[in-house]
A and B are shown apart, each in its own frame.
Chain A
Amino acid sequence: MSAAEAIGRPVKRLAQVLRTSAWLGWQVEANWADPWIFLMYAIAKPLATTLILFFMVRVVSQGGATAETFRYIFIGNTFFLYVSEVLIGISWTVFRDREDYETLKYIYVAPIHLLPYLLGRAFTRVATSTLGVLVALLFGRFVLGLTLGVPETNWLLLLCAVVLGLVGVLWLGIILAGVSLVVARHSMNLNEGLSGLFYLLCGAIFPLDVLPRWALHLSLWLPFTYWLELLRRMLTGRGFAASLARWSDGDLWWILALATVGLCALALVWFRWCERVARERGLIDWKTNY
């Protein structure tokens, strides 16, 4: 066997697993409905949260809130959809397969590993979130009349920034999926809560500077804080948080890239450990519901 074959075969196999589990994820998520109905479900959340924030800003507009402020809030909230949907989606797959479909155990009798299977299953969430983000951006641009992008905006670079952040979200999702393997179903609240924690600490919908000092310190440890700030800078030409003003755009790129690599390494170690614990304790076919 040549060296190219030795490398190519596992890569080909990985691609096969990812493709098949992505297809399965799509069938589970979407084959019950007409595509138009499914589309409506996919865009309901981002549009509703956009409008909630729109009315929140409008109702206090006499307090000095401006369209410019709303633009920053809008961008943060829209791209945060990736964090909330993909993060929760991966761990929810564990609960659904383990307890509802009772198929998680069959992954172990098939010639595949759980981790790439879960990554593949996440693709559907990535796709629906992308759709939600795009619809929300169009809604913001054409219905709410927001200006998105400045002459200096490099759209290709923006796409790279979105993808880089998304890769980080995927690995964090794998960390949570590891947790889901060893906890009961209702600990889903824990995962949803973590998404809420990030929503708060990343300053997705408000300037970081209003956070208490201790919370601001925590915020600066989260990669998504830098991700949202970078996206805001790329789309508006200016930063939102004074606390991040000392970082240049290049710094934000470096921080984001290093954090993504760190999350990847942590996720691989953590997931393997959780998987081992779940198998030792007989939790792979655990059923919990009250």
Chain B
Amino acid sequence: MEGESLSTRLRMNLRAVYARASVRVKASFRERSWLLGETLFPFLSMSAFVFVYRGLKAPREYEGFVVLGGAMIAYWNNVIWGMASQFFWEREQGQLQLYLITPASRMSILLGMALGGMAMTTTRAAAILAGGILLFHVSLPLDRALPAFGLFLLTLGAAYSLGMILSSLFLLWGREVWHTATILQEPVYLLSGFYFPVSAMGTGVAIVGSILPVTLGLDGIRQVFYGHAAHGLLPVPWIPPIQIALTLIFLFIAAVTLRYMENLGKHEGRLTVRGD
């Protein structure tokens, strides 16, 4: 009986994950303007930084750094706007309470948002990579693609787990969400070295930046592709266990904070506040 109940709950939660993810995937293909906005324009923005290195007559690998950073920015932005601040938007539109009255776990909703967000963002990241390779002739050695892809997946796991924590923290906030999300953009682009090797800022600052999974992930992927030219911060073999540990820690913290913030919100009556 207990086993049956567990499998029923598991099935229900998996359906919740699928449902939340599929909304995002379907929506991203339904809106043509979104496809254009998600692929062509971010590429153009990233290109400006490629031209900075070209203008400075930097070695070609640096253009590769920017292209890889540009692809990673797409995911980081999705973590901020599509994960962290999503519950704020849902609350503003009156949808949050619908999640709360279902028996599905909030973590399933977040997982669905994360998986849907990753799928949605992959279009953007792929366009940036393809554009970088085809238009800027950035070299990404294919024989090293598999370890780089493995590192990339671990990085996504840790980054979206961090997004889940932020999502629970953002749950009760009002308009400061918008500004906080903004502050997590350019300053993080700097701290994570999206456009230059993070080690250029000095080891101390770079280590601080490594609290964000995208920093180490990007540093590792660049090292896999470009070796010593990437001016890596940590040896590549160190990075996967760190990312796995960060994922587990972040998931645990996310589950705890989500429960705490939800209860706090219920006590303070803020889960249905709109226009705050």
Contacts and interface: CB of A to CB of B under 8 A. Distances in A.
B47 A187 contact: no
A197 B44 contact: yes
A123 interface: no
Interface in A46-60: 48-49, 51-53, 55-60
Interface stretch (A61-69, A230-238, A254-262): A61-69
B41 A194 contact: yes
Nearest to A187: B33
Interface in B180-206: 180, 182-183, 185-187, 189-190, 193-197, 200-201
A206 B52 contact: yes
B55 A207 contact: yes
A57 B57 CA distance: 10
Nearest to A48: B186
A60 B275 CA distance: 47
Contact of A205 (B31, B52, B174): B52
| Chain B interface category by residue count | 35 or more
A186 B29 CA distance: 12
Interface of A: 28-29, 32-33, 38, 40-41, 44-45, 48-49, 51-53, 55-60, 63-65, 69, 73, 99-101, 183-184, 186-190, 192-197, 199-200, 204-207, 210-211, 287, 289-290
Interface of B: 23-24, 27-28, 31, 33-34, 36-38, 40-42, 44-49, 51-59, 62, 89-90, 92-93, 174-176, 179-180, 182-183, 185-187, 189-190, 193-197, 200-201, 231, 275
Given A55-B196, A57-B52, 18 more contacts: A41-B179, A60-B58, A60-B62, A63-B59, A64-B57, A184-B31, A187-B34, A187-B37, A188-B37, A189-B34, A189-B37, A190-B36, A193-B42, A199-B48, A204-B48, A205-B49, A206-B55, A211-B51
